[in-house]
Chains A and B, each alone.
Chain A
Amino acid sequence: MLDQHSVRYLVRRLLRHAWDTPLLAIGGVLSIFLSMGFSLLQPLLIRSLINNGIAAGQHRRLIEVSIAIMVVAALSAVTTYFRSVTTQWIGEKVGYDLRNRLFRHLEALSFSFYDASQTGQLLSRLTEDIRNIRRFYSPAFRVLLQTTVLVAGSAIIMFTLNWQLALLSLAIVPILFCVTLVFGTRVRPRYLRAQQQYGQAMNVLQENLAGMRLVRAFGRENFESAKFATAGMTYYHRQMEAAKLSVLANANMPMITGVGTAFVIGVGGLEVIHGQIQVGTLLAFYLYLTQLTDPIRQIGSIVNNVALALASTERIYEVLERRPRIVTPPDAYRPKEVRGHVIFDEVRFAYSRESREILRGVSINAPPGSVVALVGATGSGKSSIIQLLARFYDVRAGSVRVDGIDVRQWDLSTLRANVGFVLQETFLFSDSIHENIAYGRPTATREEVIAAAQAAQAHNFISRLPEGYDTLLGERGVNLSGGQKQRVAIARALLLNPRILILDDATSSVDMETEYEIQQALHILMEGRTTFIIAQRLSSVRTADQICVLDDGEIVERGTHAELLALGGTYRQIYDVQTQGTSPPSPLSVTRRGGTGSPRLPSPREGEGSGVRGADG
C-alpha cells in the first residue's frame, strides 16, 4: 500500500493535472458548491412553507414559498448539470493528455525497456490506468467535496435550528462513515479474489479451446469438464463470499438512517408537543437526514476509487519518469550519403547492468557491400550483434562504428533509415498491404510499392488477393501465411533501400518450395548492400564473404564456408549434423554451462533469448 507521503504527492499531482484546464476546474468546484447550496436550501424552504404558510394559514405565503422552491429546484438542476459535465470533462481531458504523453514516451523508450515489460501490462497503462484516473475526478473527487459541503452545511443549519436535535441527527453521520469504510475496504479484496478466480476459470476454457485437438485425440473431454467445473465452482464460492458482505452493506445503510430518523421523529415530536419547535422544523430535520445518507453511502466505493486512481497514477509515472536511454546526441552525425562500412571493435555487451555479458570482445570488419554471416547456438550472441548495429542497445565497452563514426554519435533516425531488417518473426500491422510495404517510407507511390513487391516475389500472391494491395491484413482482414509475411517484409526492406541489411533466419518457418522463392528474393535484396545474416541453417550462409562462428559471446571461428569446412572445427560439426543428422553432439554446447556433462537444452530465458525476437517481433 501507498504510504502517506506518496499519497499526498500523488493527490497533488492529480489536482495539478486538473489545473491544466483552470476554467473547468474552477467551474467544477463552483458548481459543486452552488448545487449543494441549493440542495441545502430546499428543506429550509419547506420548513418555512409549513411553519409560516400552512400552519399560519397564510395562502400568499404558501404560494410565494412554493414558487421559491420551484426556482431553487430549477437552479439546482442547472448547477447539477454543470457539476456533472465539468468534473467528468476534467477527467477526460487529463486522460487524453496522459495518453498522448504516454504513447510518445513509449515510442522513445528503448528495447531494453520492452525486454523487461509485457505488452498487456503496458497496454493497461493506456487503458485501465487512465480510466481509473478519470474516476478520481468524477465521481471520487466530486462526491468527496459534495459530501463534505453537504455534511458541513447541514450541520451548521441544523445547529442554528435546534442544537439538541442537530446533535441527535448528526450522531448517525460518523456511524455511516465507519460502516461504509469498513465494508468498502473489506468487500473489495474479496471481489478481487473472485475476479482472479474468474480469470482462472476462463483460462481453462481458453486453453481447452486452444488445445482442442489434443483434448479430442486423447479423449480428455470429461477430464477437462471436471477441471472447468472445479474452477467455476470455486469462482461461485468466492463470489458468494464477497456478495455476503456487500449485500449486508447495502442493507445496513438505509437501516442506520432509518433508526436515526425514528429517533429524530420521536425526540423532535416530543419537542413539538412541548412547543419548543414547530412541525416544519421537524420536517426539515427529517429531510436533511434523508439527503445525507446517499452521498455518505458512496464514500466506501469512493475511497476505493481514490486508492485505485493513486496506484494507477504511480504506475503511469513510473513509465513516464523512465528516461529513454538511447537518444540522439546534441550535435549528431547526419551524413548525406552512407557507404555502409560496419566495424565492431572489441564490443562487450549485456542486456542489463546485472546480467552476464552476452558479447565478450567481438570484433568484425564488414566493408561496404560485403556479406557477414553469424552462426552459433541459441544464446551465443548473434542477435545481440545485429541489435547493436542499429543501436537498439548501447554497448558496455568497445564501439560499433558505421562509416568510421561511432553509432552513438549518429543521428538515430538517419542511422536506422540506413539499416533494413527482415526478421524471424515478421511483424505486420493491421493496415493494408500497401501501407505495410511502405511502412518505412510512408510517402512511397503505388508504383514503387509494386516494384518492391515484385522484386520480393510477393507481387503474384498479392495481386491474387481480393483487393490486391489494398487488402487489409490482420484482425479485420486477411491472414497471410508465414512465407507470404516474410516476402512482404522483404518488400518492406527493399523499399526502404537501406545501405545495411539485417536478415535473421528469415526462411525457417516455410516449406521447401517457399523457402526457395524467398531465397531468390533475398538474393535480390542483398545486392550491393552490407548484409548481416543470422541463420540456424547453414544453407543460407554458404555464399557469405565472412562467416563468424559465435560461442558464448566470442567469435571462435572466422572465414569463408570452404575455409571453415576445411578447418574441421565447430562449423564443420554443425554442418555435419544438419546435413546428416547423425553426427555426435557438438562438444561446445554440451559442456558450456553448468557442466552437467549431459546434453542440455539452452533455455530461451538465458542469454539473448529475450532480445532475439527483438527488432521485429
Chain B
Amino acid sequence: MTPAPPAALYSDVIRERWRRPRFRGELPDATAVAEDVNPLCGDRVRMMLRVEDGQVAAARFAGDSCAICTASADVVAETVEGKTAAEATKLTTEDVLTILQTDVRPTRLRCVALPLTVLQQALQP
C-alpha cells in the first residue's frame, strides 16, 4: 500500500512565513524583551521590541518553534510595528488566525498563542 502524498497541512500563509519569516532576527537596541516556552512541547519564543514614545518602532522575534508558532511570531511582530504599545497588547489569537488564513485544532492553539503571550509580557508596564 502506497500512502497518498500529504495534502497541504497548513495554509499558504503559514508555509510562506515558516519558510521565509520576515521578522526573525535580533534587535540589539530593543527596549522591551520577553521570552517564554510552551510547556507542551518546549518551544521557545523571544520577542524583542523597540518602544519609542509609547510606540512600537521595531519588532523582531527569535526562538526554536514549529511552523505554526513561527508563523504566528512573524505575524505578531509585523502587526505590532507602528502600533502604540496599548494597541499592540490588544492583538488576539483570533486576529493572528485571521491573518494566517487558518483555523487550528485545539491542540495547536497554544502554538499560535505563545508569541502573543510573550508580546504581552514584553509590553507589561
Q: Do A and B bind each other?
A: no
Give A residues with C-beta under 8 Å from B.
none
Using a CB–CB cutoff of 8 Å, the interface residues on chain B facing chain A are none
